[in-house]
Amino acid sequence: MKKNYFSSFVAALMLFVAMPASAEVSSMADLFGKWQFTATIETTEAGAAHADKFKSNCEVTIAKAASQYFMADISGFAGANYSMSVSGFDATKGTFEVNGPNSANYGLWDGYLAVSNAEGAWPWADYQNPDSEQFGFVFSFNGTEEITVADFTIVSQDWGSNTATILAHVKNVKMTPIELDVKDTSNYPDLTGLWTWEGGLRTDTVSLQGFTVEFQKTDETKENWNATFTFGDYEPFTLAATFDGSMVTVPHDTIYFDKVEGIRIGTRSSSTACAGNFTFSYNSKTSMSLYDYIYVRKDVYSGDTLKGGKIYQVFDGYITRENPDAYDWSGIYNVSVADAEDLNENDGIVFPAEFDMVVEKKPGNLYVITEMLGYKDLSIGITPSDDDKYATINLGGYSGAMLEYIGEVDGDYAYHVITDANAEATSLTLTKNDDGTFSFGDFSVSYKLYYAGSYDPIASFVGAKATKKVFDWAGEYTLTATVEAIDATATYASEFDVEIQEFSGVYYITKFDGDKVYSMNYGGIPLTVADKAATAPNGKFVGGAYPNYITINGVDAANLNLTMDAAGNIKMADFYYTSLNYDTNETANVAIYSNVVLTRKAVVDAIESIEVENKVVEGIFDLLGRKLDVIKAPGIYIVNGKKVLVK
């Protein structure tokens, strides 16, 4: 359903009676919809050749951003070919910002035609000049009634001299609503619960190791929330938050964790101002990204005068929420395509109709496709739906869902990218089927030129289905490795048996180097398994007797990494045998194992058949003890006192 703005007096009067002339705007979502752009455009002599590209009267769309890092996308502005992304919103001031309107393609129109300030300055920051700034728009809104922006210019760019030529002056810019989207907050995700920060610390300070946010609804719209923050051991505080279905905004004023020590929430600059927003971009029901860094500062004084603050700690990364019912989309999918067509036989490239697709789970509970169509080391985002019935594969971004970089072609950069069925960089849907398989939306591979923004399809794929491979780690293995003894007083086997067992859905290494494995839980070394990958914790006991034990420790990682191939064999990361005196806690590496491979042993699980003349044997019994004259069907029988399986 849409909200229409009628031009007739009667309709306008009815609308006035039914609702306010200008609705309140508390988030960018309140501005989503279609707007009428009007302006006065004065084209210069240099811009005459491009005059048909610039529109003084056209339709502009404000919509949810294609990228999780922005609040909204604005398309069609002044007739622009490319969208620009909103990177800031302030309901109090009635403004939103576009910090880099030209960044997507080095210009909003084909041919690197860009927007700049009213003076037509070079629109890009000069890294050699710390005082230079990149041009950005500040939009002002009066509720939903009108949006304005200061006068600006459209320029062409000379990249050799970093100078701009004014093609047009744009003045009196105004946007009025044509048709705004009606928010259906019932479809908004539910934020309820405790979210825990994970990410990177940008300073060496150790007093604030993390924070949590607990969201509680204040009404039934899923739009208004209370957010309770806890930073380290400091006293929690609660703030009002708004959610527009994709972005959480939490305005805050001055917040001191420790007034005496001057520890407070701050900004990137050393300003004494503390007001701002905590903002989070919703990814899935278990993940939200920090849209902006969170700065913690320590006050700096000159005498009794507060001069600002130095950075005490900076948080980036994600906040995540535990959800044991969330489906784990990571794993290896075998994809089979019903109809794969080569659209350009002259390029010499043949794409497979059957291939593995690898989905890995990254920090922040984000999923990424790292292998597809035979290409590895990819980074294509995949976002599960909140009901886990499907996942959306993002084909957008600066380089699209890139398979490979080809090189520079006629001054442009060329790539092979995955596109949708129409050779556009939108998205694909991976849908879970009732039979356990997965269906793809139809897609293509395209030849893309970066600056030109053109996509030329070279292969199409229709009717793709996928089956997720299941890796069973339980079994008996033979470990082989290259062993270097550090302690020459003992010998260390380069080949021995390993056993992995599964108990209640959890895998354990229960035999290693001929001994039952000792561990802190007395059940073997636990493995954290994610399909083809697993980790074993460092410092777990392997053998020995009190007080002297041997432990295993990964050489290059905090944990010991293992990877299983399609045949069921395991490659194990290099590790140390480390001696540990349990009384003194003294440790020393005594041997290093490299080139470690665990080869799965063949399983002999049955006797294929027994040869019995005329199948008449004395002393044949079934499992109930009944004597039989003839074995008539496959099963387990007692033959002359021995249990056998007849297939």
Arithmetic mean of pLDDT, 558-568: 84
Cα 281 to Cα 295: distance, rounded to the nearest angstrom: 17
- pLDDT band for 627, please (50, 70, 90 cuts): low
Q: What is the DSSP letter of 201?
A: B
Q: Please state, for a pLDDT cut of 90, what percent of the chain lies above it.
A: 50
- The confidence score (pLDDT) of residue 574 equals 94
52 bridge partner residues: none
Per-residue pLDDT of 23-41, as tens digits, reads 788 889 999 999 999 999 9
Query: For residue 372, what are the contacts with CB-CB under 8 A and spacing of at least 6?
Result: 335, 355, 357, 358, 378, 380, 403, 418
For the stretch 380-410, pLDDT in tens is: 999 999 999 999 999 987 667 999 999 998 8
Q: How high is the pLDDT of residue 357?
A: 93
Q: Are strands 247-252 and 211-217 parallel, antiparallel or unpaired?
A: unpaired
Q: What is residue 182's predicted lDDT score, i.e. its pLDDT?
A: 85
Burial of 33 (0-12, 13-18, 19+ CB in 10 A): buried
Looking at residue 193, what is its pLDDT? 95
Q: How far is CA 500 from the centre of its chain?
A: 32
Q: Are 589 and 486 in contact (CB under 8 A)?
A: yes
Residue whose entry in the numeric block shows the structure tokens 């811009």? 47
Q: Is the pLDDT of residue 226 over 80?
A: yes
Average pLDDT of the residues in 503-515: 82
pLDDT score of 542? 85
- Answering whether pTM is above 0.85, one says no
Calpha distance 431→387 (Å, rounded): 11
Read off the pLDDT band of 602 (50, 70, 90).
confident
Per-residue pLDDT, 189:
92
d(CA 8, CA 26): 28
More reliable by pLDDT, 363 or 572: 572
The pLDDT score that the predictor gives to residue 633 is 61
Q: Give buried/exposed letters for 350-377 (b at 16+ CB in 10 A, else e).
A: ebeeebbbbbbbeebbbbbbbbbbebee
Whether the pLDDT of residue 517 is over 50: the answer is: yes
Instruction: Quote the CA–CA distance of 189 and 187 in Å, as a whole number.
Output: 6
For domain 186-320, the CATH architecture is Beta Barrel (2.40)
Q: What is the DSSP letter of 107?
A: S
Q: Which of 267, 200, 256, 180 is nearest to 5 (CA)?
A: 180
Over range 608-628, report the average pLDDT: 53
| CA 286 – CA 309 distance, rounded (Å) | 34
Residue 172 has a CB neighbour count (10 Å cut-off) of 11
User: What letter would DSSP give residue 16?
Assistant: H
The reported pLDDT for the residue numbered 643 is: 60
420-424, 574-578, 592-596, 625-629: lowest mean pLDDT where? 625-629
Per-residue pLDDT tens digits for 70-88: 889 999 999 999 999 998 8
pLDDT digits (tens, 9 = 90+) for 448-478: 988 777 899 999 999 999 998 878 899 999 9
What's the confidence (pLDDT) of residue 608? 47
Q: What is the per-residue pLDDT for 2?
A: 36
Confidence label for 173 from pLDDT (cuts 50, 70 and 90):
very high
208 or 554: whose pLDDT is higher? 554
> What is the per-residue pLDDT for 606?
47
Confidence of residue 330 (pLDDT cuts 50, 70, 90): confident
The domain ranges of the chain are 2-181, 186-320, 333-468, 475-600, 613-646
What single letter denotes the amino acid at residue 500?
I
What are 522-549's pLDDT values in tens digits?
A: 568 888 887 788 888 888 888 887 788 8
Average pLDDT, the chain: 85
Q: In the chain, what percentage of residues exceed pLDDT 70?
A: 87
Rounded mean pLDDT of 187-198? 93
Tokens 């985002």 correspond to what residue?
381
Name, in order, each residue with C-beta under 8 angstroms of 239's C-beta and a sequence gap of 6 or more: 226, 227, 229, 250, 251, 252, 278
pLDDT value of position 60: 97
Whether residue 423 has pLDDT greater than 60: yes
pLDDT of 90 strictly over 70: yes
Region of poorest pLDDT, from 128-132, 246-250, 368-372, 480-484: 128-132
User: Contact at 8 Å (CB) between 136 and 101?
Assistant: yes
pLDDT of residue 496 exceeding 60: yes
